[in-house]
């Protein structure tokens, strides 16, 4: 078959030959690779040889290698350079992949071999890593329904396929709403906006084929517009469009989809013997139970709400001074908060932004990785999935460690948010493989010839996603199934959130935060003001996040709500949600929870990891500084290189000597006094 997806790749580091790949190549490659994987798995299940770790578990690890190659290319393109053909293929592939997964985990002969190995594990002479992989493999089969029989088995397969269809539909509806909405601005509408917002709006207009500037639903544009536009009517229009994603009626409305997803998840959990989907999902996480999650979130919610309500009174007073007598609304908060930040901290986003150039922030992330872990980054001239993407060869002491790809700018064909993925994961089994890691963001693209400038939040996002990338690049395990970020969901955010702390290290900003026009370093007083304001508006930020996490938990802990929007409203009312703050992710655009099972019942994970990241960075400070070599060595050995080779709590305890309490998180967010 003369299909570039199925042929050996002759690009450097075995990267995909993107220019040679047509959308029409995916379906036949997908079918051929899946059939090859089915054949290999059938051979594993039916071999007359007694089960061994090598002929069963290791053989399974390698069985669908070609299918993984095809899907890694497809998902990279479908997520970051979507088009109608790729969206149609995603709708076609999702249920087929769910059926394929069910076919494997429902293979009774295969499961008998795995179970026999587990029962006889003490006599197999396995290494700790091998026993861990065996346990995880068996547990994964059981949790995927391997022990179900008859009607329950058949229904479970149907539910999984339907969930795959609905998750894809949810994602595509959200992308359509974000892609199709834009608010055109006149020259008068630009009054009061700083130059970088105007430039971003003009560039967005060009990208949309408009003659003038526009506001889109890209976070990197709409948030600064809400921060700086003095036009309350335009802020309201923009905010309401942003909040209404997935809830605009018609074909792209996600509300009924969310209700069906929740109902099917509950049914799936009951089929597998659990009281609720949250109980099923959290069983394998660090938190363990819905009660543990609730305890953490409420320990943070109460001081955050108290702080936010106090802040709301101040902002309302500022609004009154402007002659506005109505209530403080969600489209007012960022505008008045920005004015307050300027007044109280003498910190202006427009003054700050020229010092946060994208290229310099990338250099800063690389430099920190070099000082901590000895990694070096050299640009690569290779074909990639989009002209805006760029690649680096990552080495240490001359040894190739990874290929790192960055795709940083927003575009209509890219789904919103920021994420890290691996087109190829690290492993030693068979031929040793080093990873190919992508960071994909949605920063505002500048006009031609202008430097790309980031907000401080953007810069933090860049460091966050690069922390995930380090988890992949430094992985050093034998089996791909436990490499890199293949860890508990409420542990996976530790490396990413921990790496954010290096952006706050004064010497890092002093070296890399240089002015886009003059090249001068950030003035010392501006740097000092920036660092002092790190916990500014933390009540707002914490409330909007924790509200989303609590709604997610409520959806999955107990009976599925017939009307998720009504249940969302009930939860927020019971919490006393401040009226001027919206959830960070309302149900119809809560992609973390409804695009797939990844963060369902697990949106709390960022905060669970934050308890650890604050404590982990304190380990560096206690050892004498952010770049303490011995602490960095322990971080790599016990966390970044270890993948899922041990339970998350054991890995963290090996690094730190103990587990932390919530106080470190509250202190880091400046909420300790309100607790």
DSSP letter string, 478-521: S-GGGSTT-S-HHHHHHHHHHHHGGGG-HHHHHHH-B-TTT-PB
Within 8 A by CB and 6+ apart from 105, the residues are 111, 140, 141, 144, 145, 146
SS3 of 188-226: the string is HHHCCCCHHHHHHHHHHHHHCCCCCCEECCCHHHHHHHH
Q: How far apart are CA 165 and CA 99, in angstroms?
A: 11
Look at the chain and report how many structural domains it folds into.
3
In a domain, 198, yes or no: yes
With beta carbons less than 8 A apart as the criterion, state whether 545 and 583 touch. Answer: no
Q: Which of 121, 147, 173 is the last residue of a domain?
A: 147
SS3 129: helix
Distance between start and end Cα atoms, the chain: 64
Q: Does any domain span residue 347?
A: no
> Residue 1 has what pLDDT?
64
Domain boundary among 463, 486, 509: 486
CATH code of residue 473:
3.40.390.10
**635, 640, 646, 647 alpha-carbon torsion, rounded to 10°:** 80
CA distances from 254 to 82, 261, 569 (A): 19, 10, 17
Distances (CA, A) of 250 to 16, 146, 169, 479, 578: 38, 39, 13, 46, 30
Q: Which of 492, 436, 504 is nearest to 467 (CA)?
A: 492
Tell me 55's DSSP state: I
One domain, residues 193 and 136: no
What's the CA gap between 663 and 649, in Å, rounded?
18
Same-domain check for residues 18 and 106: yes
Selected catalytic residue, list 61, 329, 465, 500: 465
Same domain, 29 and 119: yes
Q: Which of 175, 210, 244 is the last residue of a domain?
A: 244
How many beta carbons lie within 10 A of that of residue 548, not counting itself? 22
290 assigned to some structural domain: no
Choose among 226, 235, 221, 230: nearest CA to 191. 230
260 is catalytic: no
Q: How many helices (H) and strands (E) does the chain have?
A: 27, 7
The predicted pLDDT at position 665 comes to 87
Expressed as residue numbers, the domain containing 216 is: 186-244
Let me know if residue 594 belongs to a domain: no
Q: Rounded to two decimals, what is the model's pTM?
A: 0.94
The CATH number given to whatever domain includes residue 103 is: 1.20.1050.40
Q: Residue ranges of the chain with pLDDT lower than 70?
A: 1
Which candidate, 76, 64, 71, places its Cα nearest to that of 27? 71
Total residue length of the chain? 675
Verify that 197 and 87 share a domain, yes or no.
no
Q: Is residue 539 part of a domain?
A: no
Dihedrals phi, psi of 376, to nearest 5 degrees: -125, 145
Residue 600 covered by a domain: no
User: Within this chain, do residues 30 and 141 fall inside the same structural domain, yes or no?
Assistant: yes
């Amino acid at each position: 078959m003369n299909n570039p997806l199925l042929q050996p790749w002759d690009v450097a580091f075995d990267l995909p030959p993107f220019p040679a790949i047509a959308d029409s190549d995916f379906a036949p490659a997908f079918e051929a690779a899946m059939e090859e994987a089915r054949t290999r798995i059938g051979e594993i299940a039916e071999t007359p040889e007694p089960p061994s770790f090598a002929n069963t578990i290791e053989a399974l690890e390698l069985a669908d290698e070609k299918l993984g190659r095809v899907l890694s290319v497809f998902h990279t393109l479908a997520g970051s350079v979507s088009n109608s053909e790729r969206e149609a293929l995603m709708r076609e592939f999702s249920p087929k992949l769910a059926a394929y997964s069910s076919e494997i985990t429902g293979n009774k002969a295969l499961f008998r071999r795995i179970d026999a190995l587990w029962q006889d594990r003490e006599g197999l002479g396995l290494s700790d890593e091998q026993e861990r992989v065996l346990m995880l493999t068996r547990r994964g089969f059981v949790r995927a329904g391997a022990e179900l029989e008859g009607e329950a088995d058949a229904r479970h397969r149907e539910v999984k396929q339907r969930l795959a269809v609905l998750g894809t539909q949810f994602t595509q509806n959200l992308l359509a709403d974000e892609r199709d909405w834009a608010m055109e601005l006149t020259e008068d509408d630009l009054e009061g906006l700083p130059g970088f917002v105007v430039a971003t709006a003009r560039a967005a207009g060009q990208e949309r084929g408009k003659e003038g500037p526009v506001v889109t639903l890209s976070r990197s544009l709409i948030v600064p517009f809400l921060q700086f536009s003095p036009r309350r009517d335009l802020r309201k229009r923009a905010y309401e469009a942003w909040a209404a994603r997935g809830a605009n009626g018609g074909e792209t409305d996600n509300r009924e989809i969310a209700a069906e997803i929740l109902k099917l998840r509950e049914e799936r959990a009951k089929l597998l013997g659990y009281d609720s989907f949250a109980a099923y999902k959290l069983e394998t996480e660090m938190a363990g139970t819905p009660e543990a999650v609730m305890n953490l979130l409420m320990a943070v919610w109460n001081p955050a709400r108290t702080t936010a309500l106090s802040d709301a009174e101040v902002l309302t007073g500022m609004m009154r001074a402007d002659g506005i007598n109505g209530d403080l609304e969600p489209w007012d908060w960022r505008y008045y908060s920005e004015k307050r930040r300027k007044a109280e901290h003498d910190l202006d986003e427009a003054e700050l932004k020229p010092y946060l150039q994208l290229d310099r922030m990338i250099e800063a992330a690389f430099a920190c990785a070099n000082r901590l872990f000895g990694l070096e980054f050299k640009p690569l001239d290779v074909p990639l999935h989009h002209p805006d993407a760029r690649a680096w060869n990552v080495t240490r002491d001359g040894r190739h460690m990874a290929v790192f790809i960055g795709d940083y700018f927003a575009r209509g064909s890219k789904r919103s948010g920021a994420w890290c993925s691996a087109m190829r994961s690290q492993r030693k089994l068979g031929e040793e493989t080093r990873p190919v890691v992508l960071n994909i963001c949605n920063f505002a693209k500048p006009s031609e010839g202008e430097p790309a400038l980031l907000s401080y939040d953007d810069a933090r996002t860049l460091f966050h996603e690069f922390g995930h990338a380090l988890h992949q690049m430094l992985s050093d395990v034998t089996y791909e199934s436990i490499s890199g970020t293949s860890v508990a969901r409420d542990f996976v955010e530790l490396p990413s959130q921990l790496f954010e702390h290096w952006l706050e290290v004064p010497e890092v900003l002093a070296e890399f935060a240089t002015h886009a026009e003059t090249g001068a370093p950030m003035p010392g007083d501006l740097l000092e003001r920036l660092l002092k304001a790190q916990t500014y508006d933390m009540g707002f930020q914490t409330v909007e996040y924790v509200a989303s996490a609590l709604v997610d938990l409520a959806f999955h802990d107990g009976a599925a709500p017939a009307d998720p929007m009504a249940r969302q409203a009930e939860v927020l009312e019971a919490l006393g949600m401040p009226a001027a703050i919206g959830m960070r992710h309302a149900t119809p655009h809560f992609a973390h929870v409804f695009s797939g099972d990844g963060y369902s019942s697990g949106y709390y994970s960022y905060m669970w990891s934050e308890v650890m990241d604050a404590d982990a960075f304190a380990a560096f400070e206690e050892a004498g500084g952010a770049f303490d070599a011995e602490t960095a060595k322990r971080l790599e050995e016990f966390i970044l290189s270890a993948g899922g080779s041990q339970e998350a709590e054991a890995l963290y305890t090996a690094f730190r000597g103990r587990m932390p309490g919530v106080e470190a998180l509250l202190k880091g967010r400046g909420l300790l006094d309100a607790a």
